Amino acid sequence: MPFKASGSDDGYPGDPSQSYCQHFRSSVEVMPMLKQPNKHHKINFWYDEPPICTLRQYLECYSKNIADVKVYVRDNCECPVPCDFLIYDPTISFASTSVYATERLLASTASQKLHQKYKRARETTARMDPLKFSHFRYLAAGMRSSLNSLRKVIEVSVRSRLEQQIDTLKSVYEEVNRVSSDKLYLVKWQKYHVDKNFVRARQAMEERTLMYLALGFQELSYQIESRIWQISHGPRSPEDNVTMTEDVRTGLFLDALDLINGRIDLADRAFANYTQLFGAFYNGTPIFRYKYEDEPRSENIYVTPRPLLNQSLYHNSYAAKYSRRVGVDINQFKLALEKYRTLLEKSYFQGNITDDEIHKNNIFFLSRGRVLYSSKSSFYLESIEYPSRILAVRIAELERRWRKFESNFQSMYGKVIKLTENLNYLGDTILGSLEKSVAEAEIYILHAHNSNINITKMEVARSLTSAKILKGKNELENFFDDIRSRGQSVYDDWSTLNTSTGDIWQLVLDDENLREFYEHRNLTEMLRDLTEVLTEVAVNFTQHRDDCDFRFELGNLDSLFLMSVEQMMDAMKAYITGSALDKDFIQNNFLQLDVYYKEKSYEQITQQRAYDLFALMCDIGGSMGLFVGASVLTICELLDLGLHKSVRHFAQTMNNPPR
């Protein structure tokens, strides 16, 4: 007999006025008529179905009366096989609700009504059960408290420190950018000034004198040597076919003398140009007066890199050697020319010049020409072009350090901006959604016993476990992790920014070439001691770093808040899961008993007559056919004979009535 594990102790659902036991006893009379009991009862507990015993009915009614039922069946049953073999075994060997029955119940329309009733019962229990209601109120209060504390810290402390950090970074960037830009402008001005007013002067002097002084000195040596020989000894070979008259000798003498005197004059002017160029670099006095952009020419004297120009003359052994040797080599070259002039005059006036004298002077002149070329090239490379190269390197280094500073700044500034954007997004969306859900929970708690407020715990549970809240919770966790990791990164970046800022200040202040300009313009900021500035920058950056540090503002508030959210979400998920009318609910709250026969087969004995009338007739017919040859046709013939005799006798009787 099936029973359900939960339900009321009322009577049979089909007839509330009749108790189940009364119905059971009245059903005893019809029990012998059952030919084959149902193997499975349908689990449908509402309308037009057999009665289902409750647990109390089973214990108080069925178990007490089953013995009487068995006795009644045994005494009153007229079946060939005793009915006690067909009585159900009341022993429970296995009790469950089958999957088929569960799915059939869930698919029926009746389950919707049950679900609605169950939801109302759950809602009533949630409101009226003190333990459950107080636990929900405790979770909501904890969530509200942690949310308020977290919002206060985020909206006030963290936001203010982020904004302070942004303002501080902007201020640092503007200051370093101003200092770096001013320095870059001045160094570019210096390079332009050096290139145009110093190095270009060398180019002009080269084009006018220095380049032509030793130009073609080998050819010049040959020309002078040939003229001296011709003046002294006549034509070098008979093929020349030249008659050496006095006029010809005089013409050759004057031509060679003009050639030599011209080079000597060029040597004097070249030496004067060299002296001026050397003095310009040594004293820092510009030769030309080009101006830079809109700067007045009068300012060039102050921006001149005097130490650098002076240093270019002795910054290495080559510069120290050849910067002063060029003048000596010019004079030596001039001396070789003067010796040529002496030989020329001797050959013209005395006419007794030997090959050995001419050869020695040629060797001396050619060596002086080669030395002059070498020393002049070294002087240009190691001294004249040196300041321009150094200034170009300083410009490139300053730009490199600025790019490094800007890269560090952009990385640091981007992290702070990203945190600020995440914070704004957090306040506008995630915290707003959580605030709304907590407010709904508080409204539910406040008006839990007021039927006019149309809000249920299920609605609160669905709101607190929605995908939006779950996504917001995950984004909160990411934000808190991000604010700590980025906060640590920003904290460390202050040290990197301090280093890159110090590098720029070091390049700005550690420059004696602009000190005269700083003093002239009264730029006291640029005249400070480098060590003091670096110390000041380090102290300021450390203070900014500590004042703007937001890593520890949260403390453990985020953990407490996330814990309260998780506890609330777990409780709401459990409530929603517990309110579902599903397979687990049916199997946990309803029970189906499968009742089987004690024996699955039985033996039926039937009594029949061993020799009936039909068998007798068959035996008579067989004996007749065996012994007298009679058959069915014979019987028919006998019947026909008897019928014919009867009809004939009847006819005779009718025709001859008795008298």
Tokens 């040196």 sit on residue: 386
DSSP 8-state assignment for residue 450? -
pLDDT at 44: 40
Is residue 658 scored above 70 in pLDDT?
Answer: no
Residues 65, 68, 73, 74: what is their CA dihedral angle, to the nearest 10 degrees?
Answer: 140
> What is the spatial distance between Cα 404 and Cα 410, in angstroms, rounded to a whole number?
10
Q: Cα separation of 277 and 386, whole Å?
A: 14
Checking if the pLDDT of 608 tops 50, the result is yes
Going by C-alpha positions, the residue among 404, 381, 417 that lies closest to residue 180 is: 404
Do 52 and 4 form a contact (C-beta atoms < 8 A)? Answer: yes
What residues does 54 pair with on adjacent strands? 4
In this prediction, residues 94-116 reach a mean pLDDT of 65
Query: Alpha-carbon Rg of the chain, whole angstroms?
Result: 64
Phi and psi torsions of 4, nearest 5°: -110, 150
pLDDT tens digits for 177-225? 999 999 999 999 999 999 999 999 998 998 889 888 888 888 888 888 8
Pair 470, 186: CB distance under 8 Å: no
Q: What is the pLDDT of residues 514-539, one digit of tens each?
A: 999 999 999 898 899 999 999 999 99
| Residue 585 to residues 251, 580, 590, Cα–Cα distance (Å) | 136, 7, 8
pLDDT, mean over the chain: 80
- Which pair of tokens denotes residue 316? 């290495």
Residue 23 CB: number of other CB atoms within 10 A?
Answer: 15
Give pLDDT, residue 472.
Answer: 82
Residues 348 and 253 sit within 8 Å (Cβ to Cβ): yes
Distance between CA atoms of residues 245 and 336, nearest Å: 29
Tokens of 487: 């906060």
Please report where in the chains the tokens 């510009």 appear, as a residue: 286
Tokens standing for residue 70:
């068995």
Q: Is the pLDDT of residue 86 over 60?
A: no
Tokens of 379: 């002087």
- Tokens 């636990």 identify what position? 135
pTM here is 0.64
Residue with tokens 């594990």: 5
Q: Read off the pLDDT of each residue in 329-341 and give the average, rounded to a whole number.
A: 93
What percent of the chain is predicted at pLDDT more than 70?
Answer: 79
Residue 9 has pLDDT above 70, yes or no: no
Instruction: Please identify which residue in the block is written with the tokens 């000041």.
Output: 536
Q: What is the distance between the alpha carbons of residues 161 and 246, in angstroms, rounded to a whole number?
A: 104
- Per residue in 477-506, pLDDT (tens digit) is 888 888 888 888 888 889 999 999 999 999
User: In this predicted structure, what is the pLDDT of residue 580?
Assistant: 73
- Give dist(CA 490, CA 549) in Å, integer: 8
pLDDT at 639: 84
